[in-house]
């Protein structure tokens, strides 16, 4: 009888200690280029930081690590990712790379191979993947721009991934939302980017 009572007290103590605790606490790794690194912005203005602020405001146990680097290509991201996965142990990886490959006219098949390697590495490490696509300006020619955009869609479909087709959806044609270079969004555009990402990210956090 005494042993049973002690067990009941121990079980109650565990319930009290865990009451209200989140079912799962994970880390989100943002793996991108200048569009996610916050080029030309204060760190707290970039959309990954806004994501962290949103999660904190919701008292979520999820945290955000921004591993993005301005100028990064898919080859660079692929080379850096294994060490980051070992170090951060993320539960979700947001892959936002490929814009610099496109702007430099690098071969689309090479970009696809690099993105696939990053998807495979993240999944092997136990992380879910959210893939972010990109579009090229029309002056790159219809053939290249079509193959480029299709590459992201195909990767998302064949790997059954949550997918954001275009980070700058809804404002890409509005100069007021871009810095003087015409490529990097200003601070006022970052909440829009966050909402675009959030729609596909939220289902991965449950």
Q: What is the pLDDT of residue 150?
A: 97
pLDDT digits (tens, 9 = 90+) for 22-56: 335 699 999 999 999 999 999 899 999 999 999 99
Residues known to be catalytic:
34, 181, 184
Question: Is-contact 42 53, C-beta < 8 A?
Answer: no
Domain coordinates of the chain in residue numbers? 23-205
Percent of the chain whose pLDDT exceeds 90: 85
> Residues 131, 43, 70, 120: is their CA dihedral positive or negative?
negative
Q: What is the pLDDT of residue 25?
A: 65
Min mean pLDDT across 6-20, 55-69, 101-115 is at 6-20
pLDDT digits (tens, 9 = 90+) for 120-170: 999 999 999 999 999 998 888 999 999 999 999 999 999 999 999 999 999
Average pLDDT, the chain: 90
CB-neighbour burial class of residue 152 (10 A; exposed 0-12, middle 13-18, buried 19+): buried
**3.40.50.300, 3.40.190.10, 3.40.50.10490, 3.40.50.1110: CATH of 23-205:** 3.40.50.1110
**Tokens representing residue 23 in the block:** 């079912």
Three-state SS at 164 = strand
Q: Which residues contact 14 (CB under 8 A, 6 or more apart)?
A: none
pLDDT at 9 over 70: no
């Amino acid at each position: 009888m005494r042993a049973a009572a002690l067990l009941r007290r121990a079980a109650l103590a565990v319930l009290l200690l865990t009451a209200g605790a989140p079912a799962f606490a994970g880390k989100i790794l943002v793996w991108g280029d200048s569009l996610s690194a916050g080029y030309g912005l204060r760190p707290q203005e970039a959309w990954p930081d806004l994501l962290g602020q949103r999660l904190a405001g919701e008292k979520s146990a999820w945290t955000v690590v921004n591993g993005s680097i301005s100028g990064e290509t898919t080859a660079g991201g692929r080379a850096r990712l294994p060490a980051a996965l070992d170090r951060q142990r993320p539960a979700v990886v947001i892959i936002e790379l490929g814009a610099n490959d496109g702007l430099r006219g690098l071969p689309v098949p090479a970009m696809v191979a690099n993105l696939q390697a990053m998807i495979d590495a993240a999944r092997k490490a136990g992380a879910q993947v959210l893939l972010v696509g990109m579009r090229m300006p029309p002056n790159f020619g219809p053939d290249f721009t079509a193959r480029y955009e299709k590459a992201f869609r195909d990767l998302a479909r064949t790997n059954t991934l949550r997918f954001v087709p275009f980070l700058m959806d809804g404002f890409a044609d509005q100069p007021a939302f871009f810095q003087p270079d015409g490529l990097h969004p200003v601070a006022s555009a970052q909440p829009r980017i966050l909402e675009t990402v959030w729609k596909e990210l939220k289902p991965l956090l449950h």
